[in-house]
């Protein structure tokens, strides 16, 4: 590549920060924190400092040293078995994430076209999950990148615009003298502590920040990665916090805590604001935008993580049936397995009567799986700095052992909290909750180790040798 062509690909610090904002920011997790009111500020900042920033910095060093994502990073540090486990967990976490995201869409659709009360129906939620997921999968199987092109616009119109509207409406609400449903006294910034279960939802905040590693691949497009990337990370972190914190407060101001649902809390907030101003019809419009934005994120991500798993699979780590591609070159074998798992997970919304409880359970499952992957990533960064100091990295994290160590400990703490039932969780016996989470982790995570143990030379389509 010529020097001129390299210059043409440069990204500014602000541009990379905005790209990161679009990838990470999601309105889905806001209602879970709105119940804490002003205390949500603390619950957002803690995981941002302990997880979001370390993740972005460590991923940048790894991405500038080794191409191939988490599979290659962990493989180079610990061997092929653990690299495959890492990419499997990254993929399976997204499988669990799809139902939670589409459950959010179902609530928005209920407010847009149907009866808002349907947002609390498990059967309605499950049906929407199946229809939208399989419809999106069929489109993905046809190949092409139409939805990838629409992903950015979906993020802007379905995430950033509603977030800005909530912020504006919150200020107007307070400025006009209306009463807030939560205390805005400075002392309220410390969330109430009534036992460890009262802060377990912070796990969903860690998951809300997941994805900071995605844009680390663009670090070499900065003119001065050593200086520019940390600035971009901190700018992105500030923007992400603003998009999370201010709309969350706007929701808690307008919606009483007892009415807040984890899937419909945002729509209830818009309904409260618009009804006050005689613009009830506008709730459906904004709900439609939110649904479109969330759906854009789903269809954009359906093919993405499975491509990473396919790359590892074709080295002989998954049987041929899961390496299968269709005529369009799309990984149909993995997508069929992915769809089957999503269908089974959608049944949770029917089995568990309370939609919000099912939503929390799925989020905790996804968090636990993803956190294992992140712990492997942080550990790999420390090992590779010592094991492979000769590999050139365009960006190197200052005090890597401390930064990665903080990220690892934060992930470990969040992982432990994932086994504690959230405060008020009544879907089933709280004493069974940790066992169910452990069972889910074992059932969804162990196949990677089983496939690895029973792999056969004939599975390797690259005709290369095993790298373990």
Place of tokens 């460590």: 58
CA dihedral 160, 161, 167, 168 (to 10 degrees): 150
In a domain, 467, yes or no: no
- How far apart (Å, rounded) are the C-alpha atoms in residues 358 and 445? 20
Beta carbons within 8 Å of 354's beta carbon, 6+ residues apart: 122, 426, 427
Q: Which of 71-80, 141-150, 340-349 has the least mean pLDDT? A: 141-150
Q: Which of 18-27, 334-343, 359-368 has the highest mean pLDDT?
A: 334-343
Is the pLDDT reported for residue 194 higher than 70?
no
- Please work out, in degrees rounded to the nearest 5, the angle formed at the alpha carbon of residue 84 by the alpha carbons of 79 and 89: 130
Q: Which of 11-15, 63-67, 72-76, 206-210 has the highest mean pLDDT?
A: 72-76
In a domain, 462, yes or no: no
CA 63 distance to own-chain centroid: 20
Over the chain, what is the mean pLDDT? Answer: 80
Return the higher-pLDDT residue of 11 and 410.
410
Q: Which of 75-84, 104-113, 433-442, 445-454 has the least mean pLDDT? A: 104-113
Please give the average per-residue pLDDT across 351-376, as a whole number: 78
In a domain, 442, yes or no: yes
Q: What is the pLDDT of residue 261?
A: 63
Instruction: Provide the pLDDT confidence category of residue 12 given band limits of 50, 70 and 90.
Output: confident
Q: Which of 109-123, 181-195, 371-385, 402-416 has the least mean pLDDT? A: 181-195
In a domain, 202, yes or no: yes
Residue 411: domain span: 3-457
- How far apart (Å, rounded) are the C-alpha atoms in residues 263 and 363? 12
Instruction: Provide the pLDDT confidence category of residue 2 given band limits of 50, 70 and 90.
Output: very low
Please give the average per-residue pLDDT across 322-351, as a whole number: 86
Q: What is the pLDDT of residue 36?
A: 81
- How far apart (Å, rounded) are the C-alpha atoms in residues 100 and 167? 24
Q: What is the pLDDT of residue 1?
A: 40
φ, ψ at 460 (rounded to 5°): -80, 110
Is the pLDDT reported for residue 265 higher than 80?
no
Total H helices, total E strands in the chain: 19, 0
Q: What is the pLDDT of residue 399?
A: 92
Instruction: Provide the pLDDT confidence category of residue 5 given band limits of 50, 70 and 90.
Output: very low
pLDDT digits over 85-100, tens only? 998 998 888 888 888 8
**In contact, 203 and 420? CB cutoff 8 Å:** no
Return the higher-pLDDT residue of 157 and 198.
157
Is the pLDDT reported for residue 35 higher than 70?
yes
CATH of the domain at 225: 1.20.1740.10
* DSSP notation for 283-319: HHHHHHHHHHHHHHHHHHHHHHHHHHHHHHHTBTTS-
**In contact, 334 and 319? CB cutoff 8 Å:** no
**In contact, 334 and 309? CB cutoff 8 Å:** yes
Return the higher-pLDDT residue of 245 and 149.
245
- How far apart (Å, rounded) are the C-alpha atoms in residues 173 and 190? 23
In a domain, 374, yes or no: yes
In a domain, 58, yes or no: yes
Please give the average per-residue pLDDT across 347-351, as a whole number: 81
Task: Count up the domains in the chain and report the number.
Answer: 1
Q: What is the pLDDT of residue 3?
A: 39
Please give the average per-residue pLDDT across 279-302, as a whole number: 78
Q: What is the pLDDT of residue 347?
A: 84
Instruction: Provide the pLDDT confidence category of residue 375 given band limits of 50, 70 and 90.
Output: very high
User: Three-class SS of residue 27?
Assistant: coil
In a domain, 468, yes or no: no
Share of the chain above pLDDT 70, in %: 84
pLDDT digits over 423-434, tens only? 666 666 778 888
In a domain, 463, yes or no: no
Instruction: Provide the pLDDT confidence category of residue 378 given band limits of 50, 70 and 90.
Output: very high
């Amino acid at each position: 590549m010529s020097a001129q062509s390299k210059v043409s690909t440069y990204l500014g610090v602000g541009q990379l920060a905005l790209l990161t904002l679009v990838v990470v920011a999601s309105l889905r997790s806001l209602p879970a924190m709105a119940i804490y009111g002003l205390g949500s500020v603390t619950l957002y900042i803690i995981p941002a400092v302990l997880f979001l920033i370390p993740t972005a910095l460590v991923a940048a060093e790894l991405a500038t040293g080794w191409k191939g994502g988490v599979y290659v990073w962990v493989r180079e540090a610990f061997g092929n078995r653990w690299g495959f486990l890492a990419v499997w967990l990254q993929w399976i976490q997204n499988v669990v994430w799809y139902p939670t995201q589409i459950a959010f869409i179902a609530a928005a659709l209920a407010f847009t076209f149907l009866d808002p009360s349907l947002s609390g129906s498990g059967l309605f939620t499950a049906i929407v999950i199946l229809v939208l997921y399989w419809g999106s999968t069929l489109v993905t199987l046809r190949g092409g990148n139409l939805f990838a092109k629409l992903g950015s616009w979906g993020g802007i119109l379905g995430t950033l615009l509603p977030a800005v509207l909530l912020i504006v409406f919150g200020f107007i609400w307070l400025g006009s003298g209306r009463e807030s449903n939560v205390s805005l006294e400075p002392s309220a910034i410390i969330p109430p502590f009534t036992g460890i279960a009262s802060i377990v939802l912070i796990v969903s905040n860690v998951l809300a920040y997941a994805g900071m590693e995605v844009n680390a691949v663009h670090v070499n497009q900065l003119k001065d990665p050593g200086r520019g990337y940390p600035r971009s990370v901190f700018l992105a972190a500030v923007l992400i916090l603003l998009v999370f914190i201010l709309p969350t407060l706007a929701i808690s101001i307008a919606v009483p805590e007892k009415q807040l649902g984890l899937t419909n809390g945002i729509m209830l907030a818009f309904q409260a604001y618009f009804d006050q101003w005689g613009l009830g019809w506008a709730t459906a419009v904004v709900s439609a935008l939110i649904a479109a934005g969330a759906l854009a994120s789903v269809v954009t991500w359906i093919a993405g993580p499975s491509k990473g798993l396919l790359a590892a699979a074709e080295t002989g780590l998954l049987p041929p049936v899961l390496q299968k591609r269709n005529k369009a070159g799309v990984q149909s074998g993995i997508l069929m397995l992915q769809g089957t798992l999503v269908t089974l997970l959608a049944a949770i919304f029917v089995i568990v009567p309370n939609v919000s409880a099912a939503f929390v359970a799925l989020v905790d499952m996804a968090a636990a799986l993803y956190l294992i992957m992140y712990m492997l990533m942080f550990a790999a960064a420390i090992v590779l700095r010592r094991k492979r100091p000769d590999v050139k990295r365009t960006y190197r994290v200052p005090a890597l052992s401390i930064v990665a160590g903080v990220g690892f400990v934060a992930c470990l703490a969040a992982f432990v909290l994932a086994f504690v039932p959230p405060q008020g969780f009544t879907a089933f016996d709280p004493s069974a909750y940790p066992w169910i989470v452990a069972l889910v982790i074992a059932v969804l995570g162990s196949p990677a180790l089983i496939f690895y143990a029973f792999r056969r030379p004939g599975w390797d389509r690259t005709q290369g040798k095993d790298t373990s």
